[in-house]
A and B are shown apart, each in its own frame.
Chain A
Amino acid sequence: MSETTTPATATPPDRRVSGVSIRLDGVTKRYPGQDRPAVDDVSLEIPAGETVMFVGPSGCGKTTLLKMLNRLIEPTSGRIHLGDEDVTDQDPDRLRRRIGYVIQAGGLFPHMTVGTNVALVPRMLGWDKRRTATRVDELLDLVGLDPAVYRDRYPRELSGGQQQRVGVARALAADPPVLLMDEPFGAVDPVTRLRLQDELLRIQEELGKTIVFVTHDFDEAVKLGDRIVVFDVGARVVQYDTPEAILANPAEEYVADFVGAGATLKQLTLTRVGDVELRQVTTAVVGTDSAQAVAAVRSAGHDFVVVLDERGRPISWPTLAELTRTTTVPAAVDERLPVVDLRSTLNDALDTMLAASQGGVVVTGRREALAGVLMVESVMAAIQRSRAEVAG
């Protein structure tokens, strides 16, 4: 599969790969008393280190197929390989400890602390206490939760998005080569979902796992997937290709319908915030002298300033007038500050702007540090460009 090209996505071609390939050979699932198999003779190869999205209408068998990968559902016939290993007859409990599994809302155990939840698989694998504890902190850090703050909390004390992050951390705890995700972001609000998607892209960039991700949201599939499998009833593979190729050439009427009208605008989902020009802005660090900041904003000809905390993360964007009224740069965090990641799509950025009723959005990069501001005009220009391309 190495000669298959992976067209330009946000992920660089020379990224690290720690995953293994998955190969399905004629996998079928029949339930007694049903005429048609839920999954009918599916053969599929998922390359190591790629994110492959399973999309399709509900009841098409995509979730059944996913659950056969870790044998939560036993296939009626067919073989399943992880890397070079046939795992169809392996002890399922042992197999599952090598495969991360993330479900909606994280599936955290409410009577265990965040730390205990994350430590479950390492404990089962017999890791010693110190190694497990180090790993737990490392993972909480990876998913953007401060271990000192969250390790000893109970899931109930966390927001939906935070619970989902812990769910991802728990699945990654024993460093499994494969991660299965079953509509993981289905239960969180749209803004949180965008954040979690960006986060997953970042984590995947760092780790290079093989990820199989079930979703019914085609935009999510386009955003996160290196490849997308479009399924029809019986888990029939209708099209298996890169998001770009599926958007450009839907294999059948069925796919075109599923991709939806306005596929031109869907191109917005293919363009990342990092691909378009960002506006550079004046910044001020919390607690510094306001007058200085005001002077800097004036000399740059801007009308607002982005306030950064000590770690360089944007926390608010007061106007010049608001800043003039203060003596030191305020430390108040603007909860409604619209923020997207460099890996977010233009679609996400536009959504975020509309949700916040703002004409622009703050863009962050590595470690949530400020990267610039994306104005609505730039998004519009990108839309016009893509329409012109399609028309021409």
Chain B
Amino acid sequence: MTAATESSSLGAPESVTRRADETTAGAGRGDWRALATQPLLVAVGVLAFVLWRANATLTETEARQLGWTALWTGIREHLLLTVASAVIVLLIAVPLGIALTRRPLRRFSPLISGIANTGQAAPAIGLFVLLATWLGFGFGTTVVALVVYAALPVLRNTMVGIQGVDPRLVEAGRGMGMSAAAVLFRVELPLAVPVVLAGVRTALVLLVGTATLATFIDGGGLGVLINTGITLSLDSLLVSGAVLVALLALAVDWLGRVVEHVARPKGL
């Protein structure tokens, strides 16, 4: 083990669990206020952008790139990349995380977390390009790269969430005659929900950000705006792309928080 992988394998879960703690602490009125503030900020941001776009004097190239249809296509592609990758991440990482906390597979958990850690520690752009040389350019490859990149927080939090359930509760469940499956579905998973969802939200935000790199392997999305802005030295395009991605990330993060708030089991 080199020092670099060592620190990354420690660093990532820490940040993940810290986020989890943040969201599990207290569900009072302050929480709702925070939840209400975020969409307000996003709305203000969107409004500001729309006003600027409607009133700015733009060159022909800028106007074409920032046309309402072009923008809408970019946003749609970006969301599609994010959602498709997120769904695949959920389908793979949650069951895998659960399986790795079961007794027969528990010994593989360091190996799998190691692999997942490497996936996240690798520079995203390198991952995109490597996969593209292997699988070819396009939407599919982008989704594969995004899945590899974002699986870690969900996998990690699923495992941490389940491992964080008081072992005495598991014993109490078994001791009263619940089967192993019943304990998993009625005790361990419900109690792990807040931590798992925090991981999902982290992954979503990562996905929105990382999906901007899709443009380099012909995957579309808002990265196209940013990339064009850079190559043509058009700051208006660059900033528009960046602002839109940021607003999208904030909106997705907010949705995640709402889901966490609603899905958190009562009594915790």
Contact = CB atoms under 8 A, between A and B. Distances in A.
B190 interface: yes
A100 B175 CA distance: 8
Contacts of A120: 176, 178
Nearest to B187: A109
Contact of B176 (A101, A104, A156): A101
A110 B177 contact: no
B267 A93 contact: no
B175 A72 contact: yes
B29 interface: no
A54 B13 CA distance: 43
A124 B177 contact: yes
A101 B175 contact: yes
Interface in B151-184: 168-169, 171-179, 182
A93 B181 CA distance: 12
Contact of A95 (B177, B265, B267): B177
Interface residues of B, number: 20
A107 B267 contact: no
A111 B191 contact: yes
A314 interface: no
B179 A93 contact: yes
Interface of B: 168-169, 171-179, 182, 186-187, 190-191, 265-268
A110 B166 CA distance: 11
Contact of A70 (B168, B175, B186): B175
A150 to B, nearest CB: 13
A171 B176 contact: yes
A107 B178 contact: no
Contact of A107 (B168, B177, B266): B168
30 contacts: A70-B175, A72-B174, A93-B178, A95-B177, A96-B176, A96-B177, A97-B177, A98-B177, A101-B172, A101-B176, A103-B172, A103-B175, A107-B169, A108-B172, A109-B173, A110-B191, A110-B267, A111-B190, A111-B191, A111-B266, A111-B268, A112-B267, A120-B178, A121-B176, A154-B266, A154-B267, A156-B267, A156-B268, A170-B176, A171-B176
A392 to B, nearest CB: 49
A94 interface: yes
Q: Which of B174, B176, B267, B268 has the most CB of A within 10 A?
A: B176
A192 interface: no
Nearest to B193: A111
A11 interface: no
A95 B176 CA distance: 9
A103 B268 contact: no
Interface string A86-120: 00000001111110110111011111110000001
